[in-house]
Amino acid sequence: MKIEIKNLTKTYSGRFKALDSVNLTITDGMFGLLGPNGAGKSTLIRILVTLMQPTSGQVLLDGKDISGYRKEIRKMVGYLPQDFRFFAKLRSWEFLDYAARLAGMNSKRERGARVDEMLESVGLYEFRNRMANKLSGGMKRRLGIAQALIASPSIIIVDEPTTGLDPEERIRFRNLLSDLGRSETIIILSTHIVGDISSTCNQMALLNEGTLIYHGTPDHLVDQAKGFVWRAEISQEKYDSLKSEVPIISTIPSGGGWEIQFVGDKPAGVEAVKVDPNLEHAYVHYMDNKLEHWNLK
């Protein structure tokens, strides 16, 4: 299965360009969509799940334009929106049952079995009779992913799924998605949290202000930041002057000064050692240095 996004542009109210000629190909596996808030990720996702029409351009699924096959696409997609909450007056199992019915699962027995299975797999079976709005934030997110998966979709799209979750819930959620990524499905994970991508995705895209600025593997993105990540121990006075020159991504108090990590070219007069970059470093490197280089900043 292959999703091809061709010259996709979305303009709101004839002025603001949320997406600007985005070209992208997504194949089976986990695909990470990374970018700061307002980068256009949610707009792209809403177009992919047929909730929004692009101003121009196309999205093709296995060569077919999705705007002409909305019913078929909607049958294939499981979607968890960014700010999703629940019908307050439905129990957890009822909410999943409703989602299953809307997805076309008409057999009551089959549906009941699937609801129980999904509740088990997201660890909510013992809370099946609890009202959905009485669940904790992490549980709600898990219930949200369960409703997205209820009809065994071949395309799963989750928008900012880990926002607001505690670390334990976040790890649990990532693992859940990684398990799904092993099957022949496309999973698109949109997030502004770099850690979500680095631990789960084998392909990724970086969006900024509606423009696609990177498309490839997370490792390749990390490679490009090699030689640009530094660690240094500096005084308070040096720290004050340095923070206006380079993006500092970690600061730990050390003696009378700071142990810092920063991204970019090493400024003159600073004693620093190179550090192996991770995806977070690479992201900062891209967003700061590359955009400046391309006059996009």
Summarize as ranges the residues that interact with another protein (CB under 8 A).
46, 49-53, 70-72, 74-75, 77, 79-90, 94, 98-99, 101-104, 106, 147
At its nearest, how many Å lie between another protein and the CB of residue 103?
Answer: 6
Nearer to another protein, 46 or 170 (CB): 46
Show the tokens assigned to 274. 């190179």
- Structure letter (DSSP) for residue 150: T
Nearer to another protein, 4 or 94 (CB): 94
Nearer to another protein, 160 or 280 (CB): 160
Please tell me the total number of residues recorded for the chain in this structure. 297
Nearer to another protein, 164 or 216 (CB): 164
At its nearest, how many Å lie between another protein and the CB of residue 92?
Answer: 14
At its nearest, how many Å lie between another protein and the CB of residue 104?
Answer: 6
φ, ψ (nearest 5 deg) of residue 286: -65, -50
What span, in angstroms and rounded, lies between the C-alpha atoms of 117 and 124? 10
Which of 72, 49, 79 is CA-nearest to residue 150? Answer: 79
Nearer to another protein, 141 or 215 (CB): 141
Nearer to another protein, 100 or 282 (CB): 100
What span, in angstroms and rounded, lies between the C-alpha atoms of 10 and 52? 9
Which of 51, 156, 146, 21 is CA-nearest to residue 96? Answer: 146
Show the tokens assigned to 22. 């985005």
At its nearest, how many Å lie between another protein and the CB of residue 158?
Answer: 12
At its nearest, how many Å lie between another protein and the CB of residue 145?
Answer: 12
DSSP-assigned letters across all residues of 76-134: HEEEE-TT----TTSBHHHHHHHHHHHTT---HHHHHHHHHHHHHHTT-GGGTTSBGGG
At its nearest, how many Å lie between another protein and the CB of residue 100?
Answer: 9
